[in-house]
Amino acid sequence: MNDKALELIEKLALKLGTTADQLMDILVKQAYVNAHIEIAWTVFFVVFSVVGLLGIRRAVKMYRSETVDEGVMMSIFFVLSVITIAFSFETMKSISATISCFSNPEYWALQRILEML
């Protein structure tokens, strides 16, 4: 780390009434807490992605059986597709954050410190 970053970390620690070492220790522990939270979000996103896919599948079956008007079906299909794609992207983002927190908590802590500055 360069001297400017260390100086900024020291200033932040001073503002918080602690030392830079204690600040880093706390943030490294918080990285693991954050990783567990990200796991919960990942499960949430995966569940809703699967629900969206099942909804699309059911909508297609309804369309094939001609129980729903084509315009209504296209609207349903579009909404479910957008929701499913959005949840899929969020799942990937959450998995990435989880891996980052578990594999290198010091880097995660340093990122949080730099965001605070």
pLDDT in tens, 62-103: 878 877 778 888 888 888 888 888 888 888 888 888 888 888
**Do the beta carbons of residue 17 and residue 56 sit within 8 Å?**
no
CA distance linking residue 11 with residue 22, whole number of Å:
13
Q: What pLDDT, on the 0 to 100 scale, is given for residue 101?
A: 85
Rounded to the nearest integer, the mean pLDDT of the chain is 83
Q: What pLDDT, on the 0 to 100 scale, is given for residue 56?
A: 84
By CB atoms closer than 10 A (0-12, 13-18, 19+), residue 94 is: buried
Q: What pLDDT, on the 0 to 100 scale, is given for residue 117?
A: 63
